[in-house]
Amino acid sequence: MKIVKVNLKERSYSIIINFDNYARLGKEIRKLNIGEDAFIVTDKNVMKIVGEKIISSLKKEKLSFHIETIPPTERSKSIKVWINLVEKLAKFDKKRKVFLVALGGGVVGDIAGFLASVYKRGIPYIQIPTTLLAQVDSAIGGKTAIDLSFGKNLLGTFYQPRLVYTDISVLETLPIREIRNGLAEVIKYGAIKDKYLFNYLEKNEFNPRKYDWQYIVSKCSKIKAKIVEKDEYDKKEIRMILNFGHTIGHGIETASEYSKKYSHGEAISLGMLCAVELGILLKITPKEVLKRLEDLIIKIGLPQKIKSLDIKDIMKAIGYDKKFHGRTTRMVFLKDIGSAFIAEGIPWNLITKVIKKRLE
């Protein structure tokens, strides 16, 4: 077991990284003293895999619970699904003291976190991330959100969980595409902050069964925790380095209609490649970084070419991206593997150029 602390004064919490230890969950909840009645938001795939273990752990501690499953897709991050959860929560909340459990991937974490943050002006919640992406990224740091038809994550809050309970044994049950999806964010952490992590992925063959997940997940958790501690509300241009690959990546993701063609991780690996090429054009990034990143992405099986998307759609999606403050285009670049840098006023024509180069 590894414990990573996220130090945010009265909002501090632990990330507990375990192997096959869902049975201890009830005890951990009791230690936190956050309530008696667990409102669990999850999806049916996750329920099948870990539901029973979690339920029996809650029962052992005499915690009451109610389970709400949402469809396992990005489309679930909608106002409609969210309002349904609000109503279910209000109906369930008639007893003692209610708290929320986000059991699943990024979608579940985002929508449940948002619910916890605004229900009765905030109730406690815990994150139990069950995808690699959620374990290394979205479950940590308190960003919650739902989507509008106008854009992703348009409604949301900064609201820290009281615990992130990560069990890496669940990674064994994930389809390979989901592992790749999360590895894109792992590559990102290496690229912006930790050359050793990047080296680890370079040196080892792509084999999820042989990966040292304890090392990977705790390393990423630590990096994210440190960044969030310095810039909880994303206001100091510190947290922004986590957006490496995300500006163009989000554009690709949006243009491909929310994960139909490209998953988040796939879009982000394309976005990272574009950002590195842009960095080379702007003389920020050394040329060899591109080859290393491209080789790694190829080895892991993430895409390097943008297929069947229209440049106009991608650019439009980038233009609406909230990462662009007003009209200036601010983006994250690499000075080297393990070292990130924010630059402003990037010319739109160069952005178009590097994306076009990746189009197939």
- When the beta carbons of 122 and 347 are compared against its own copies, the nearer one is 122
CB of 151 to its own copies, least distance (A): 7
How far is residue 94's CA from residue 98's CA, in Å, rounded to a whole number? Answer: 9
Closest CA to 360 of 252, 246, 272: 252
CB of 145 to its own copies, least distance (A): 7
Asked if 315 is part of the footprint of its own copies (rule: CB under 8 A), the reply reads no
- When the beta carbons of 18 and 117 are compared against its own copies, the nearer one is 117
Asked if 236 is part of the footprint of its own copies (rule: CB under 8 A), the reply reads no
Find all residues with CB under 8 Å of 26, minimum gap 6, and list them: 57, 58, 59, 60, 61, 63
Q: Is 217 helix (H, G, I), strand (E, B) or coil?
A: helix
What is the total count of residues that contact its own copies (CB under 8 A)? 34
Sheet holding 125-129, edge to edge: 2-6, 13-18, 163-167, 125-129, 98-104, 37-42, 64-69
CB of 125 to its own copies, least distance (A): 15
Closest CA to 112 of 152, 151, 150, 84: 84
- The CA-CA-CA angle for residues 165, 168, 17, to 5°, reads 40
Closest CA to 180 of 334, 338, 300: 300
110: amino acid identity, one letter: D
Give the x-and-dash track for 258-297 against its own copies (CB under 8 A): ----------------------------------------
Asked if 336 is part of the footprint of its own copies (rule: CB under 8 A), the reply reads no
Query: Which of 76, 117, 221, 269: binder of its own copies (CB under 8 A)?
Result: 117
Asked if 205 is part of the footprint of its own copies (rule: CB under 8 A), the reply reads no
Which one of 83-91, 124-132, 236-244, 277-285 is the stretch in contact with its own copies (CB under 8 A)? 83-91
How far is residue 18's CA from residue 37's CA, in Å, rounded to a whole number? Answer: 24
- When the beta carbons of 27 and 91 are compared against its own copies, the nearer one is 91
Which one of 45-53, 55-63, 260-268, 322-330 is the stretch in contact with its own copies (CB under 8 A)? 322-330
Asked if 79 is part of the footprint of its own copies (rule: CB under 8 A), the reply reads yes
CB of 197 to its own copies, least distance (A): 28
With beta carbons less than 8 A apart as the criterion, state whether 184 and 268 touch.
Answer: yes
Query: Which of 325, 345, 349, 360: binder of its own copies (CB under 8 A)?
Result: 325
Query: Binders of its own copies among 32-61, rule CB under 8 A?
Result: none
**φ and ψ at residue 39, rounded to 5 degrees:** -100, 110
How many residues belong to the chain? 360
How far is residue 198's CA from residue 322's CA, in Å, rounded to a whole number? Answer: 28
Residues that bind its own copies (CB under 8 A): 79, 83, 86-87, 90-91, 94, 96-97, 114, 117-122, 143, 145, 148, 150-151, 153-158, 233-234, 320, 322, 325-327
